[in-house]
Every structure is written in C-alpha cells, then in structure tokens.
C-alpha cells in the first residue's frame, strides 16, 4: 500500500513535492490544500483533489503524511504545530535562530496528536546540517566552512527590486573559487565575508531611470551587499526572462581537520550540491523524510524529530537486506 | 563518565583508534589486545594496558565498546562474531559481497550476548555507503558514480611486490579528471574502467633486474592492471622512503539525477574525501560509531547494525539541544 501524501500550500515547493511523488512509486498524492479558491488552482495529478485549507480536518484519516510547503517567516510557525495535532508532518523551517522554539512547539503538538513531525528538512537546513554533523563527529579537531551558490537568493533579489527605478532583478550568490581552494588545501584559512562570496545582480531598470544611482544603492546596501564585492549588470526584460527564470542553487559544506598523535595528518571532507531547481530538490528531500515519518509513526513513535534523529535506512523504499546488499 | 574503549589488534588501524581516543574527551582507552607477546607491544597511552588476546574475556565488564582492528579476509569473519558475544563491537569489514553473511553472523552472536555490533564502518564501506543511500533516496531517477583516489591501494602495491626483481612498490589509484567533470556536468556518461581511473606505480627494482620486463608484467597483469592505463616509475629506495611512506586515500561519491514533471531539471550531489592517512580517518569513523553502539546498548538494544541504522545524532558527544542549536 502506498504512503498517502498531502501537500499543504501549492507554490514552487508544493509543485516540487507533487513532481517528486510521481517519481516515488511507494507514495501517492491524495490532496493539495490551498488558501486560495480551490477551483482556481490547477494541479498536475488527475487522481488528487484540490481542497480548501479550511477543510483539512476532514482528511485526518485519509492522509499518512502532510508535507507543509509554507514560508518560514509567518506560515510554518503557526501551520506546523497546528497540523501536527492532526497529521504526521514534514516542514522545511529554515530560520536557524528560531529552530529550538519551533522544535518545542511541534514536539508538544505532535505528542498531543500522537503524530510524528520532522522539521527543518531540505538542504540547508537539512543535508548540509547532516554533513556538518557527520564531519564534526569524525574530525573532532577541525574547522567548518559553508559556501553557498552559485545560486539565486530570493531575499537579495527582493531587496534589489525594492530600489526606486528597478523593474525586475535577480541576484546570484557566487562562491569565490580561490577561497574554496584555500579550504581544500587544508590550510584552515580564516575567511572574511568578502573573501568567501561575491554577489552578481541582473537588473531591469525602468525607462529613464538613473542606472548609476541604482548601481550605487545596490552596492552600498547594508547587510545585503555592502560587505561583498558586487557586480551589477543591466539587462532587458527579454534577457531576464530568457536567461534568469530558473531557481538554481547549491553550495559546499567542507570540514578540514587533523588526526594523529600530534595532529600530523590533514583530512578534508567535502559535500557539494549543484541544483538546477532549488524548490524541486528541496521537495525531494521532504518526500524522503515523509517516508521516514510514516515509518516512525507505524512503529508507534510520536513527537518532533529532525534529520539528526532519523536512521538513514528509514528514508529508503528498499528493505533492509536490499540496502545492505546494494549500497553498503 | 567516559566510554571505555578496547582495541583488538594493534596495526595501523589500531594505532589510529588510539590517536582518535585522545581527541575525544568522552572516551577512554582501557586496553589494547594483541596476538603478539604483550611485552613486545609498546603503545602511546600510559594509562592503558596491553593484554594478550587470549585474556580478552577477563575484560568483559571493563570495556563498553571493543573496536576490532583486524583484516577483513580472515580476521573479522571470526573475531567479530566471537567478540560480539562478550562486548559491544565495531568493525570495518569491507568485503562487500560477504557483508550479508557477516551481518547475520554478528547479529546472532550479539543477540546471544545482549550486545550491539556495528559492522562495515569506515569510509568505503561507511561514509561512502551513507552518501550513496542519502543521494539515492533524494534523487530517485539518477545514476551513481564512485571514484577512488588519489590514494595508495595496498592490494595493488602487494601485487607489484610479488613480481620477480621488485624490491618494493607503491601503487596509487588516480581518478581521471575528465571523467569527474563529465559526471559533474550532469550528462550521465557511461564510463569504462579505463576512463574512470589510472594507476601509477613507483617501483624499487633489485640491482640488475630487467626493468622493461617488470614494467610489462605490471601493465599486463590481469584484474589488477590490464584494464587500466598504468604508468610505472622506477625510483630508489631512498625516494620510496622519503616520498611514498604515507597512506593517503580518498575519493568521490557522486549521484546525478533529474527532477520535475518531465525530468527537466538536473542535480548533482557530490561527496569527496581527501585523506592524508587512510587508517587514521577510518579509525575516527570507528570511534564515532563506538559512541553510537554505547548509546544503543544503554537503551537496551542488541543485535547487529550498520551505518544505515544509526541516527546521526548518536555519533555526537553533544546533547540533542546543542546539536539542534549549533549544527541544524
């Protein structure tokens, strides 16, 4: 029998989960829940329903795992605890500083409902976190480095769009190759913000806008750009649509450490992602952890978990002997 | 209280575990067990004992986890089940084809003794296996690639040493950069053995030996070299000692996959290790999993497990709230 999946929120991430379900034969999409008028939302899965978010309770016994695809700022802190009372849930909560509070809230709600919640699933937090943990447990004496990109930062793109005279903008975060190579050499460099990443902006200006002023406003913007070497390219609307409509991302988690009685041997552990579609990759991670939540639930577990608490085998649709034979 | 560690077998790997214990403050080395005369074995830890392997039973209640550092060919298939009746055990069994049988034997013995055994721990099998599993669970539609090196292959070095006229030899396995780049491009190339790795040998020939014959015997050796492009360099004993006395290794696990309703987006997941010392790195992984075995045992678990069955948090000496705050 398939694992019955619900998708709560149907933006880029929700559509990614829908596509992922189609690639995983042991899962089946039951319904997409939306705050919009259901009849206005068209989905790709003919066998699934589009349902108003108000009616989610009616699906309590029809869905094994609800994958919540809202935003971290205002949606998930409310939605995940609320839904964890009714369903096993997965979310991609990514406000690092607020994770302990979110964990506690989801834990209480999930225990009350007898359900399992797995939070902060995706690639960062998520796969990057896992790689930080594994590498730290192996190389006790070492240093961690995280690089992001090349990829689109939605927050930085939005910040540029708010500048007067900007019609559209896309911002790429780009890791500095020389910094990566310094880390890979095992020299444990101390790197400033400016040394690790550059920022590259593509901007469509409004007719007659002062491009020099826009460029200056971008490059001097505190928090977002002033600590970085930033390049600003003005392009046409057609070029924006043709060359910058995707949402690629990725990055590197590297730990550099020493072993031996006198720290005489250096080691580098590197994990790298190159993603054509940030939301679709995140969705694939969410679905793998939905399988784990289902399995925990079948075993009678309840409460909140993170990627750190999930035995890797729980993510697989293969049985244990297959995994041992084929992947170990 | 520290986790009390025993080391069974004191070669390169055993010495690596000893060094790792010194880097992990929550562990303590109690004793090294050896088949040699104990008085002939000198260890680096003053507070630990060197004990004859015959007397291992006397340590039944003095050791929390025994890390078995024997070889996979003949030692571990016997030692791990035997010791699992007495202790929680960790090994690095790496004969891929025989893992299911070894798992079953250790499982039965560990259950009989009420202990936990974690087998096939290290980097391949071990961290590479974990990365294959995670990447397969995320990118369902894709292809796996494993590259080894640059690193010393002991088996291939031994094979060259057996050739008449060879005094000493060291063989490096080297991944082909062009093949790596083809995989990273997402083109899912089909790669032959020859396209993935080259082999580089450093040979000290005996005085008057026929170097042309030796080179030819190496390059045409079935299984070991005939399917590869092999380079043979003749060097002096001094050069061998000066430049080739280390045991570096490493490699790459890459999964290339597609997502989207029509597979329109490509993704690359890459895990890379660069190790100055293969045995010391392996030892660090063994010690992290010793911590996990101890924790499973404290919870009352018994039987055989693999890296696939261990929640990542069990590897850490940090408590759960610290992990969530600092690494997620």
Give the residue carrying structure tokens 């060359």. Answer: A243
Phi and psi at A274, nearest 5°, equal -125, 110
Q: Is B236 helix (H, G, I), strand (E, B) or coil?
A: coil
The CA distance from B107 to the nearest CA of chain A, in Å, is: 13
Instruction: Provide the token pair at A313.
Output: 């085998």
pLDDT digits (tens, 9 = 90+) for B13-23: 999 999 999 99
Of B20, B267, B309, the CB nearest to A281: B267
- Which chain A residue lies closest to B324 (C-alpha atoms)? A100
ipTM value, please give it: 0.97
- Residue B188's alpha-carbon distances to B139, B145, B185, B241, B266, in angstroms, are 13, 9, 8, 41, 10
pLDDT on residue B146: 97
Contacts with A38 (C-beta within 8 Å, 6 or more apart), sequence order: A50, A51, A52
Query: Residue B293, CB half-sphere, CA atoms under 13 Å: how many?
Result: 34
Q: Which helix H or strand E contains B104, and what residues bound it?
A: helix B99-113
Q: What is the mean pLDDT of chain B?
A: 97
User: Is-contact B53 B31, C-beta < 8 A?
Assistant: no
Burial class (CB in 10 A: 0-12, 13-18, 19+), A301: middle
Q: Is B17 on the interface with A (CB under 8 A)?
A: no
Instruction: Provide the token pair at B314.
Output: 């069990």
For a pLDDT cut of 70, what percent of chain B falls above it? 100
d(CA B122, CA B188): 28
Considering only residues 288 to 307 of chain B, which have any Cβ-Cβ distance to chain A shorter than 8 Å? 288, 291, 306-307
pLDDT digits (tens, 9 = 90+) for B44-82: 999 999 999 999 999 999 999 999 999 999 999 999 999
d(CA B202, CA B234): 6
Q: Is B80 helix (H, G, I), strand (E, B) or coil?
A: helix
pLDDT digits (tens, 9 = 90+) for B72-106: 999 999 999 999 999 999 999 999 999 999 999 99
User: Is-contact A201 A218, C-beta < 8 A?
Assistant: yes
A327/B99 CB distance under 8 A: no
Q: Is B203 on the interface with A (CB under 8 A)?
A: no
Q: Average pLDDT, stretch B20-34?
A: 98
Cis amide bond preceding A150, omega within 30: yes
pLDDT digits (tens, 9 = 90+) for B125-176: 999 999 999 999 999 999 999 999 999 999 999 999 999 999 999 999 999 9
- The pLDDT profile of chain A, 328 residues, written as one tens digit per residue, is 799 999 999 999 999 999 999 999 999 999 999 999 999 999 999 999 999 999 999 999 999 999 999 999 999 999 999 999 999 999 999 999 999 999 999 999 999 999 999 999 999 999 999 999 999 999 999 999 999 999 999 999 999 999 999 999 999 999 999 999 999 999 999 999 999 999 999 999 999 999 999 999 999 999 999 999 999 999 999 999 999 999 999 999 999 999 999 999 999 999 999 999 999 999 999 999 999 999 999 999 999 999 999 999 999 999 999 999 999 9
Burial class (CB in 10 A: 0-12, 13-18, 19+), B300: exposed
- Which chain A residue lies closest to B261 (C-alpha atoms)? A19
* Buried-exposed string A47-75: b where 16+ CB fall within 10 A, e elsewhere: ebebbeeeebeebeeebbbbbbbbbbeeb
Mutate to test the interface with A, among B22, B91, B138, B255 (most CBs of A within 10 A): B138
- For residue B123, count other CB atoms closer than 10 A to its CB: 26
pLDDT on residue A1: 79
Give the residue carrying structure tokens 């190339």. Answer: B189
pLDDT on residue B1: 79
pLDDT on residue A47: 97
């Amino acid at each position: 029998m398939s694992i019955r999946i619900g998708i709560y929120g149907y933006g880029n991430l929700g559509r990614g989960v829908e596509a992922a379900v189609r690639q995983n034969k042991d899962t089946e999409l039951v319904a997409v829940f939306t705050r919009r008028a259901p009849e206005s939302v068209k989905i790709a899965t003919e066998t699934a329903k589009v349902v108003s978010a108000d009616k989610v309770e009616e699906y309590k016994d029809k869905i094994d795992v609800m994958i919540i695809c809202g935003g971290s700022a205002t949606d998930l802190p409310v939605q995940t605890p609320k839904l964890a009372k009714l369903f096993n849930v997965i979310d991609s909560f990514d406000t690092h500083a607020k994770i302990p509070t979110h964990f506690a809230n989801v834990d209480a709600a999930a225990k009350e409902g007898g359900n399992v919640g797995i939070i902060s699933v995706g690639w960062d937090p998520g796969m990057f976190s896992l790689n930080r943990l594994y590498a730290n447990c192996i190389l006790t004496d070492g240093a961690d480095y995280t690089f992001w990109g090349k990829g689109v930062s939605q927050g930085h793109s939005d910040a540029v769009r708010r500048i007067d005279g900007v019609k559209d903008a896309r911002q790429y975060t780009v890791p500095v190759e020389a910094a990566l190579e310094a880390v890979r050499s095992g020299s444990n460099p101390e790197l400033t913000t400016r040394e690790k990443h550059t920022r590259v902006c593509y901007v469509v200006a409004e007719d007659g806008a002062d491009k020099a002023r826009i460029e200056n406003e971008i490059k001097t913007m505190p928090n977002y750009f002033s600590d970085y070497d930033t390049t600003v390219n003005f392009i046409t609307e057609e070029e924006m649509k043709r060359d910058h409509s995707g949402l690629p991302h990725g990055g590197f988690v590297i730990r550099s450490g020493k072993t031996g009685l006198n720290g005489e041997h250096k080691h580098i552990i590197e994990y790298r992602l190159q993603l054509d579609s940030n939301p679709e990759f995140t969705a694939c991670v969410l679905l793998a952890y939905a399988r784990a939540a289902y399995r925990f639930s079948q075993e009678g577990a309840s409460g909140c978990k993170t990627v750190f608490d999930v035995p890797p085998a729980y993510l697989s649709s293969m049985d244990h002997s297959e995994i041992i034979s084929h992947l170990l």
